[in-house]
Structure 1
């Protein structure tokens, strides 16, 4: 059996792993990664499907371990290649992805499974295990073929007092361990964190305190899929005699689904329409919105920038009930500072116990290694530091270091006769979604956008004599976002004359060659003179 991670190993997001046996493919998760500051204009980042091209008919199913965007967000783009690939998952997970696919005008083929279920997908026998996470209905999956047994945890933790009473089924893990797990793929996100992740219930006092002491409106930001945290907020609001309104399309949609399927329990009359809430006293208002990661177009960011219809001010309270995704720190701290300047009190993970991770810490991972006793371990879901920390934990429990495989996206691992080894590499680059375009934005495009953002733009118009390759008129410089200093630009023009003098009289048929000479010369000069790298475009006109 061949295992090929196409995302999630080396970053926190776009999780996707492909399993191959006898020419058939099984995919576990297909998520997105959210862009960082150095990727301006990008909506989301997808796994690279290049290695699947021409093999769409070989895919027997897509197992979705749970309903978070970093595990299901890429599914619509994959199904555009073949819409009838079966989606296999729990009730809430399938409800979330079906709703998302409706926006893409795709009607999926779904297979509803629950913990303890067995399901056959082509040559793969799948067995599902209940795991606890920050969203209901999460599942681990055991994959059996004659080549061996693989256990993939998905995202999980071992909360012993979960809000929904659904704990990670360690007895089931132990039964699989007794059968013999040949390869254990384990969540690495919190492998560097010692001890055990605290219980979701431990947050209730801090959230209750916010509702008991806030003098005016409370605005809660959270992931639109974080059902457990939103349940806690609803319970606290109800106890404090406040009404609640959901703000943001994804929040309204997902909470509607969760309530309809009874994963979210809302007292009658508690949730009201946003317009009705506006006429109520401030101390009776709770708004639950998206934007917990500082996304510029989300409700919370627009409130901070005062571009949203909801205007916040002195004595309002913002409760940021979510974690920091690596790379989003600056955007989130920027929002906190803007709210502070407006007189808004901001309660967040840094100053109150209002969030707990959904991932197992080191103590929980060690517990699992000792229960499962796998032959091989392949850490998944995390940056390099997380993967290596997880690998070290596995080795400490007695697993042979040679059987602990720390690999990156695109690495193929073959499991043959109970032995696993790295066998090759496939393409697994970053695929950017930019508006309605997928995969057309390149690293060069992002480099140009960054240059525009940091250094502005210079357009150079050069009238050149085709016989001598020399300037027929002085260079014309047009700038955007770049401070034009006449002295520096005159010096740049002199350097261009010198550079063109070196090719005087040469037979140059391609104007692009002259454009490159001028662009490179001006670029080097601006770097020295300004310590900036503006985006430079040169237009050479045949005189």
Structure 2
């Protein structure tokens, strides 16, 4: 039996999201998590981004299973796309697979094999034994993985914080983690999201206390938005509503789905008669209503965004409404969230959104909790995961501060290949990885060149030119046609078209009949001539597309 393992990062290192790590031991490969990332501002038209699984597909006969740590989209959202290529058993806790199943229903046709496990259950796959261990995070039923290999034991924390008073009462399994550390841990791979935050992350229960105070003071309707998957937060909203005699209406497809799954599986406790349908809101006074809505990240099509501009078909913001933003903006979403908050104020609502309000706490461990995890498990080797590069570096420094030798700490990025033996760890190289863009029904069929075209369209508009010429004489058979979009106002379009036609005639008149036959070359050169025209005359750089037809 081999005495080395390889860890291959296909996503989640040097970025937030798209988490997918492979562990290879001899002939056996397992995948840990299978997530997506949401598009950056410059990824125009992209719905989301998934990992490049080419490396995995090439070795699919060796893949024994996919192990999920929790139900957030950055850990399960790519599952339908991966299983289309590598259909293997998927292991996870009850709620994790319940949330993942909703993603499968949306994007997958055909059979799939979900296998529910409980904390401390051990799954044997090939030469590996994978044990699930209870962790706390901002979604219930989260777990870490203790992976027993012929080379030694590896702990993968998943996303976590060390919450001493979680809403569901399920604290992290300190005893099992300490036991693994006592017996000797080969490597720890630990969540780095908040490695740059000193101290401890507050307990989720603190949010419940602050929500209760907010609800007590409110006189009108209350609208609360949070991450749809944050079941503990949803539970505390329901608890506060019930305490003050309010009904709860859930709005937004993703929120409705999570609430349905969590209730069905027993992770959300709702007093009888507390939930009402949106059509029944009119039957109650405003002071007796709580709306639980999607849109905490300012998503343009979310329920809260539509409310903020008066476009939601059921809910209109009125004077006296109190909106509680019970989530902090994910990096990159600050502008869209601020826009929604501004619009809510314009509609007459009061909005609670600042960090000082205490209506949101993170689900990720801060520095002191990360040190506790390191000291509990006492790993020989340490690899920080799940974070942007600065988070990984700072987490590496924390590990060294707790006594892990610098030579035993490895920091990588997507594509990095780590090799571990009982006595040595090293980075042996990288594999090629890239972002795979999902755009509507298309998966991976657009890349950065198309995104650059879309950006150019958005920034400077476009010009479309069509010319029909005689193949024999080079004369125009019909006048050139010019269309522009996003470039000038209507009253200037004729003048723009005239200028384009003039430079087109002038350029084509310089070409010999032989040169005209190279259609692609002529189209490219003509587009360059027209771009220069607009750069010189208007200081703009539109996208120019030319179509030359020779008859």
2:203 maps to 1:199: yes
Find the aligned partners of 2:183 and 2:510 in 1 and give their Cα distance.
76
Alignment correspondent of 1:95: 98
Aligned partners of 1:468 and 1:506 also within 8 Å: no
- Rate the CA distance shift 1:128–1:208 in 2: closer, same or farther, 3 A: same
1:298-337 pair list within 5 angstroms: 298-309=302-313, 310-337=315-342
Q: Residue 394 in 1 paired to residue 402 in 2?
A: no
CA displacement, residues 103-159 of structure 1 (integer Å, 9 cap, x when unaligned)? 434443222222222221121111222111111111110112112221110000011
Query: Displacement of 1:499 after TM fit?
Result: 5.4
Does the CA contact (< 8 Å) of 1:120 and 1:126 recur in 2?
A: yes
Query: In the TM superposition, what whole-angstrom CA distance separates every residue of 1:16-69 from its partner, at most 9, and x where no partner exists?
Result: 101111122101100111112211222221111111224323211111101111
Distance 1:349 1:88, change over 3 A: farther
Q: Distance in 1 between matches of 2:94 and 2:495?
A: 68
Map 1:398-409 onto structure 2 (within 5 A). Answer: 398-409=403-414
Is it true that 1:294 corresponds to 2:298 in the alignment? yes
Q: Secondary structure at the match of 2:185?
A: coil
Contact (CA 8 Å) 2:482, 2:501: kept in 1 or not? Answer: no
* Distance in 1 separating the partners of 2:279 and 2:290: 13
Instruction: Identify if the C-alpha distance between structure 1 residues 494 and 377 changes in structure 2 by more than 3 Å, giving closer, same or farther.
Output: farther
Query: Does structure 2 conserve the Cα–Cα contact (< 8 Å) formed by 1:117 and 1:128?
Result: yes
1:442 correspondence with 2:447: yes
Pair 1:157–1:44, CA change in 2 (3 A): same
Cα distance in 1, alignment partners of residues 22 and 67 from structure 2: 10
Q: 1:206 to 1:275 in 2, by over 3 A?
A: same
> Is 99-108 or 198-207 further displaced after alignment?
99-108
1:217 to 213, 221, 238: 221
The structure 2 residue matched to 1:11, chosen from 15, 37, 50, is 15
Query: Residue by residue, what CA displacement relative to the aligned partner does 1:354-384 show, whole Å, maximum 9, x if unpaired?
Result: 1000000111112222222212211111111
- The 1:471/1:513 distance shift into structure 2, 3 A limit, reads farther
Match of 1:483 in 2: 488
Instruction: Work out whether residues 322 and 349 of structure 1, in 8 Å CA contact, stay in contact via their aligned partners in 2.
Output: no
Question: SS in structure 2 opposite 1:262?
Answer: coil
CA shift in 2, pair 1:464/1:136, >3 Å: same
Partner deviation per Cα, 1:295-346 (whole Å, 9 max, x = no partner): 2222112212322111112211221211211221111111111111111112
Q: Which residue of 2 aligns with 1:518?
A: 526
Question: How many angstroms apart in 2 are the aligned matches of 1:176 and 1:415?
Answer: 18
Distance (whole Å) between structure 2 residues aligned to residue 472 and residue 523 of structure 1: 24
Q: Which residue, out of 346, 349, 362, partners 1:357? A: 362
Question: Which residue does the alignment assign to 2:429?
Answer: 424
Q: How does 1:157-236 map to 2 (within 5 A)?
A: 157-236=161-240
2:354 is the alignment partner of 1:346: no
Partner of 2:378: 373
After superposition, give the CA deviation of every residue in 1:397-456 in whole Å (9 maximum; x if it has no partner). Answer: 232223221111111111134312112222321111111121112112222222222222
CA distance in 2, matches of 1:495, 1:305: 45
Name stretches of at least 5 consecutive residues in structure 1 with no aligned partner. Answer: none
Q: Matches of 1:202 and 1:332 in 2, distance apart?
A: 23
Work out whether 1:142 is the aligned partner of 2:150.
Answer: no
What is the SS of the residue equivalent to 1:183? strand
CA displacement, residues 266-299 of structure 1 (integer Å, 9 cap, x when unaligned)? 1111112221123211111111121211222221
Aligned equivalents of 2:354, 2:94: Cα separation in 1: 31
Identify the range of structure 1 (61-70 vs 440-449) with the bigger mean alpha-carbon deviation: 440-449
Task: Give the distance between the partners of 1:384 and 1:267, measured in 2 at CA.
Answer: 45
| CA offset digits 1:483-541 (Å, max 9, x no partner) | 16577766666665665566556534221111101112222443454443322211223
SS in 2 for 1:246: strand
Query: Scaled by the length of structure 1, what TM-score is found?
Result: 0.94
Alignment pair present for 1:414 and 2:419: yes
Displacement of 1:542 in angstroms is 3.0
Q: Partners of 1:130 and 1:44 in 2: how far apart?
A: 29
8 Å Cα contact 1:488-1:529 kept in structure 2: no
Does the 8 Å CA contact 1:98/1:108 hold for their aligned counterparts? no
SS in 2 for 1:331: helix
Partners of 1:383 and 1:527 in 2: how far apart?
A: 38
Q: Structure 1 stretch 520-529 or stretch 142-151: which is displaced more?
A: 520-529
- Aligned mates of 1:533, 1:215 — CA distance in 2: 54
- Looking at structure 1, the residues matched to 470 and 381 of structure 2 have their Cα atoms a distance apart, in angstroms, of 69
Aligned partners of 1:470 and 1:500 also within 8 Å: no
Does the C-alpha gap of structure 1 residues 385 and 526 become closer, same or farther in structure 2, counting only changes over 3 Å?
farther
In the aligned structure 2, how far is the partner of 1:207 from the partner of 1:190? 24
List gaps (5 residues or longer) in structure 2: none
CA contact (8 A) 1:139 1:154 kept: yes
Answer whether contact 1:12 1:326 (CA < 8 A) is retained. no
Distance (Å, rounded) in 2 between the aligned partners of 1:473 and 1:128: 72
CA distance in 2 between counterparts of 1:528 and 1:125 reads 67
**Which position in structure 1 is the counterpart of 2:542?**
534
Q: Which residue of 2 aligns with 1:80?
A: 84
User: Distance between the aligned counterparts of 1:304 and 1:527, measured in 2?
Assistant: 39
Counterparts in 2 of 1:525 and 1:380: CA distance versus 1, 3 Å:
farther
Residues 292 and 322 in structure 1, CA contact (< 8 A), matched pair in contact too: yes
Q: How has the CA–CA distance of structure 1 residues 315 and 462 changed in structure 2, closer, same or farther, with 3 Å as cutoff? A: same
